[in-house]
Structure 1
Amino acid sequence: MEEQTVGWRVRAIRGATTATENSVPAIREAVLELLGEIERRNALDFSEVISVTFSVTRDLDQIFPAAIARECPHWRNVPLLDVQQMHVEGGLPRCIRCLIYFNTPNPDQPIYHAYLRHAQSLRPDLAMHSDYHPLELSSHSLG
C-alpha cells in the first residue's frame, strides 16, 4: 500500500495583555483588543480553530474572558476555556493570556503572536510595539 500523508497541522497563536483594573468594562476592553489584534494579524479561518484557552491572574475575577469572546459571532462555536494562572510573586498583575489552537493545511503559514499593553514586557521579542508604554518591572515571569 502507498502511504498517504495529510498536510494539515495543528498550530497555536499566543497572546497576552493587561486590564487597567478589575472591572467588567476594563477586562472586556482588554480581551476584545487582544482578540481583534490577533485576528487582524493572522489569517484565521474560524472553521479551523480547535479551541482557545484563556488564563487570568488571580486579581481579575469580575468576568470570564471566554464570556466576552462569545459576544463575537465568530467565536461562539469555538470551545473556550478559562483558567487561573499560577501565582508567582512579582508576576505581571491584571494579566490575561490566550492560546488559540487551530488546524491549517499550510504548516508554513506565518503566525503573529500579540503581546499588548504591559504584557509587552513578558515577551519583548514578540511584542506589538505601539505608543503604549509597558511598566518598568524589575522581576516577573516570562509568558
Structure 2
Amino acid sequence: MIRGIRGATTVRFNEEDEIIKETKRLMEEMAKSNQVNPELISSVFISVTSDITATFPAKALRLIDGWKYVPVMCMPEIDVPGSLEKCIRVMMSVETKLPQDKVNHTYLNEAIQLRPDLTKE
C-alpha cells in the first residue's frame, strides 16, 4: 500500500544552513517514526512559503544516507494571508504496511500549530 506521510517545520531565518538543517531533521524524524526504508519511498514533495528563498530544502535529502535516488521536488506553497511564515511542508509517499491511522505525521517547531490533532505530546 502506498501511503502519504505529512510533515512540516519552520525556520527562524531565510538562511541556507538553517533551511537544510531543519529539513533534514524533519525528514529523518518522519522516516524514523514510520520505519521508512528509502528504497520504499515513491516520491517526496516539498513546498515552502514565499519567504524561503535561500536554498532548495530538497538539498537536505542528499545528506541522508541511502536517499541519493529518492525523487524529490520543491514548489511554492499557496500564499494565503495570515498563514504560518517560514514554513516547509512535506508530503512523502511510501510503500508501507501501516494502516492509515497508524502513520505518524511529524510537525516540528512552529508548524505544530498546523495539525495539533496529529501531533504527539
Which among 21, 30, 45 is matched to residue 38 of structure 1? Answer: 30
Moved more, 84-93 or 21-30: 21-30
Runs of 4+ in 1 over 3 A off after TM superposition: none
Matches within 5 A, 1:58-137: 58-104=50-96, 106=97, 108=99, 110-129=102-121
Relative to structure 1, the CA distance from residue 128 to residue 17 in structure 2 (aligned partners, 3 Å threshold; closer, same or farther) is: farther
1:24-69 C-alpha deviation (Å, 9 max, x unpaired): 1111121011112112211112211100000000100011011121
Contact 1:56 1:84 in 2 (8 A): yes
Query: Could you state the TM-score of these two structures normalised by the residue count of structure 2?
Result: 0.92
Alpha-carbon distance between aligned partners in 2 of 1:90 and 1:123, rounded to the nearest angstrom: 16
Alpha-carbon distance between aligned partners in 1 of 2:31 and 2:5, rounded to the nearest angstrom: 10
Max radius of gyration: which structure?
Answer: 1
- Alignment gaps of 5+ in structure 1: 1-8, 130-143
Report the counterpart of residue 12 of structure 2 in structure 1. Answer: 20
Residue type of the alignment partner of 1:67: K
Residue type of the alignment partner of 2:27: L
Aligned partner of residue 75 in structure 1, secondary structure: coil
Report the counterpart of residue 41 of structure 2 in structure 1. Answer: 49
Alpha-carbon distance between aligned partners in 1 of 2:28 and 2:103, rounded to the nearest angstrom: 15
Greater RCO structure (CA 8 Å; 6+ sep): 2
Residue type of the alignment partner of 2:16: V
Aligned length: 120
More helix by share: 2
Residue type of the alignment partner of 1:25: D
